[in-house]
Chain A
Amino acid sequence: MNINATIIGQAIAFFFFAWFCMKFVWPPVTAALRERQKKIADGLDAAERASRDLELAKEKATQALREGKEQAATIIEQANKRASQIVDEAKDAALAEGDRLKAAAKAEIEQEVNRAREALRAQVAALAVAGAEKILQKSVDKEAQAELVEKLAAEL
């Protein structure tokens, strides 16, 4: 156990290894560590952001769905209203048309009746005159009796 120059050799070796370590070992390793740390932090950040985005998107989707449903309900309601309105309108129109047709038919019937009545009246007058002619067997002054016949016909 003698103190000798080994002590100096050891010190030189010591400083050399420490220097080498500082220059060529420490920086790359710590740089890699730091970079990985940053990467992981970034990754975690991104994951968090993504989950937040997902949450947001879900919320948006729910909202859109709700809005869509509301809109659909409104549209259906409107449609129903419109449908009933159209039905009502059609009903009204049909009623009006029916009334009109009925009135027209009535008028026509009345007209026909009148016409038939006129015709009948004329025939009756002729028949009455013919009958009277036959009964009298004589010539009758048609002109003289025309007034009488007219009166008769009007009474029919």
Chain B
Amino acid sequence: MAAEGALTTSGYIIHHLTNLTFGKLPEGFVRYDGSVVGEGGTWTIAHGNEAATMGFWAINLDSMLFSVGLGLFFIWLFRKAATKATAGVPGGLQNFVESIVEFVDDNVKSSFHARNQFVAPLALTIFVWVFLMNLMDLIPVDWIPYLATQLGVPYLKIVPSTDVNVTMGMSLSVFALILYYSLTVKGVGEFIGELTLQPLGKYMIPANLFLEGVNLLAKPVSLGLRLFGNMYAGEMIFILIALLPFWAQWILSVPWAIFHILVITLQAFIFMVLTVVYLSMAHESH
């Protein structure tokens, strides 16, 4: 059940929800094992809640490893299909890739009407990558962390989309694109006008700015937190199910896993569609 037999239930849960964080601990910090960090601080792997002390300049190695690994898998697989793509009879892989590409393309075409070469590939990347990251959730929760513990890695969270940094990293990237396209396609004047002159008319500029500002900022926050929340909750339930005796786990874990197939696909799809819609709004002039 638990990776470390001596752990309590809450310890087990916390262990499963802790990232493998690499960062700098400040001088004089008392570590989890009672040792004191020496002069000038030290770069190390965080144990327990040490990651909180590391501040912003730390990195979740497991999230980065799995998300980049899955991203590389995605581009490798799709690149492989793309190099062999023929207009003749498609093979299995090409068929698979084409059906996804067409699915994404149809979705983009239905909600994005401006001309932009980047949006459809971006949507494809988001859909497949987020799906793959979510898919890690279906690997039984103990397998890989247990293996990692045996190899001397103290923490390993294999589902990158249960890390708020990952989801917010993506949604803030989308936000950057929203701002970029708003400014370049609409122009600065119109973008500012959109933020200040509606919905209450030009005499209520502060109120307009507040409403539209919240509206604008809510986009990346809701986009990132929606994915994070869904995946985190799903993961949490898998962990709770894993606390049951081993012979009873399948009664709950199998239905939840089957249901989760729907959730992970849906979340990937929602992330993609919302990105396309936001970028479409950024391109639309009034």
Q: List the interface of chain A (C-beta within 8 A of B).
A: 1-11, 13-18, 20-22, 24-33, 35-36, 38-39
Binary interface encoding of chain B residues 47-59 relative to chain A, with 1 for a CB under 8 A from any of its CBs, else 0: 0000110111111
Shortest distance in angstroms between B120's beta carbon and chain A's nearest beta carbon?
6
**Is B60 located at the chain interface by the 8 A CB criterion?**
yes
Most buried by B among A21, A28, A30: A21
Separation of A29 and B97 alpha carbons in the complex (Å): 8
Return the chain A residue nearest B224 by Cβ.
A7
**Which A residues lie within 8 Å of B129 (CB)?**
14, 17
Separation of A93 and B117 alpha carbons in the complex (Å): 100
Shortest distance in angstroms between B105's beta carbon and chain A's nearest beta carbon?
7
**Is B169 located at the chain interface by the 8 A CB criterion?**
yes
Shortest distance in angstroms between A22's beta carbon and chain B's nearest beta carbon?
4
Q: List the interface of chain B (C-beta within 8 A of A).
A: 17, 19, 21, 23, 51-52, 54-60, 63-64, 67-68, 71, 74-75, 78-79, 81-83, 85-88, 90, 94, 97-98, 101-102, 105, 117-118, 120-122, 124-126, 129, 160, 163-166, 168-170, 172-173, 176
B57 touches A4 (CB 8 A): yes
**Which A residues lie within 8 Å of B82 (CB)?**
24-29
Candidates A4, A17, A20; contact of B60 at CB < 8 Å: A4
Return the chain A residue nearest B176 by Cβ.
A11
**Which A residues lie within 8 Å of B90 (CB)?**
32, 36
Supposing A2-B58, A4-B21, A36-B87 touch, asked if A26 and B124 sit within 8 A by C-beta, the answer is: yes
Return the chain A residue nearest B228 by Cβ.
A1
Candidates A1, A25, A30, A31; contact of B79 at CB < 8 Å: A25
B52 touches A2 (CB 8 A): yes
Separation of A1 and B17 alpha carbons in the complex (Å): 8
B74 touches A17 (CB 8 A): yes
Supposing A2-B54, A4-B23 touch, asked if A24 and B165 sit within 8 A by C-beta, the answer is: no
B97 touches A22 (CB 8 A): no
For the residues of B in contact with A, the DSSP-based class is: helix
A-B contact pairs, 26 of them (CB 8 A): A2-B54, A3-B165, A4-B21, A4-B23, A6-B19, A6-B59, A10-B173, A11-B170, A13-B67, A13-B71, A14-B129, A14-B173, A17-B71, A17-B125, A18-B122, A18-B125, A18-B126, A21-B121, A21-B122, A22-B121, A25-B121, A28-B85, A29-B81, A30-B101, A32-B86, A32-B87
Return the chain A residue nearest B102 by Cβ.
A33
**Which A residues lie within 8 Å of B101 (CB)?**
26, 29-30, 33
B98 touches A29 (CB 8 A): yes
**Which A residues lie within 8 Å of B64 (CB)?**
6, 9-10, 13
Return the chain B residue nearest A10 by Cβ.
B169
Separation of A39 and B88 alpha carbons in the complex (Å): 9
Return the chain B residue nearest A14 by Cβ.
B173
Shortest distance in angstroms between A43's beta carbon and chain B's nearest beta carbon?
12
A20 touches B169 (CB 8 A): no
B87 touches A15 (CB 8 A): no
Most buried by B among A25, A26, A30: A25
Return the chain B residue nearest A26 by Cβ.
B121
Shortest distance in angstroms between A148's beta carbon and chain B's nearest beta carbon?
136
Separation of A35 and B98 alpha carbons in the complex (Å): 13
